[in-house]
């Protein structure tokens, strides 16, 4: 699968590990193609710019799913959810990741560098990518109401 990955400077916060490279390497080890939407270092940037890049990659069909990283996952998810067809879910556990896919058909998972360990993020991302949308009528109807 092609997966767009974006973060603000929190993805490179010190002390390490650097979360964005860690997540990108993990995705590649699972056999995915990564579309790197930046940022690529610890200099402070604005998370909406990177939410926009990931969202546009999905909207253009350059990626099927996205992973976003900021301090909490919240700001960058709020920014991504302003784009049509983007359903970004802040997840703090694999259970949230599973339900975000099964019920909400989320196509972007957002994680927080200052909330979760890198290992927790990897588990969340893996669960998110491996879980299909349930396809149940009630979930289709609810997702459809969001446009």
Residue ranges binding ligand RB5 (CB under 6 A): 8, 10, 47, 70-72, 74-75
Pick the closer one to ligand RB5 by CB: 32 or 109.
109
Q: Give the CA distances from residue 21 to residues 59, 85, 105, 117, in Å, rounded to whole numbers and listed in that order.
A: 23, 26, 26, 14
Shortest distance in whole angstroms from residue 24 CB to ligand RB5: 18
Pick the closer one to ligand RB5 by CB: 72 or 127.
72
CB 4 within 8 A of CB 66: yes
Shortest distance in whole angstroms from residue 75 CB to ligand RB5: 2
- Sort 136 into a burial class: Cβ within 10 Å, 0-12 / 13-18 / 19+: exposed
Pick the closer one to ligand RB5 by CB: 23 or 70.
70
Shortest distance in whole angstroms from residue 88 CB to ligand RB5: 12
Is 91 one of the annotated active-site residues of the chain? no
Shortest distance in whole angstroms from residue 71 CB to ligand RB5: 3
Pick the closer one to ligand RB5 by CB: 47 or 128.
47
Residue in 9, 32, 37, 70 annotated catalytic:
70
Is 70 one of the annotated active-site residues of the chain? yes
Count the helices and strands in the chain (H runs, E runs).
6, 5
DSSP states along 12-58: GPSSS--HHHHHHHHHHHTT-EEEE----SSS---HHHHHHHHHHHH
Helix or strand or coil: residue 79?
helix
Q: Which are the catalytic amino acids?
A: 70, 103
């Amino acid at each position: 699968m092609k997966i767009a990955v974006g973060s603000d400077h929190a993805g490179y916060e010190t002390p390490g590990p650097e979360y964005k490279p860690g997540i990108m390497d993990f995705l590649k080890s699972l056999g995915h193609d990564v579309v790197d939407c930046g940022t690529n270092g610890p200099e402070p940037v604005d998370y909406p710019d990177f939410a926009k890049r990931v969202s546009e990659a999905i909207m253009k069909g350059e990626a099927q799913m996205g992973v976003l990283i900021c301090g909490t996952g919240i700001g960058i998810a709020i920014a991504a959810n302003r784009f049509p067809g983007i359903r970004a879910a802040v997840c703090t556990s694999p259970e949230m990741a599973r339900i975000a896919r099964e019920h909400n058909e989320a196509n972007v998972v957002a994680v927080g560098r200052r909330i979760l360990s890198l290992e927790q993020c990897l588990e969340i991302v893996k669960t998110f990518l491996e879980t299909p949308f349930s396809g149940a009528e009630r979930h289709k109807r609810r997702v459809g109401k969001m446009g």
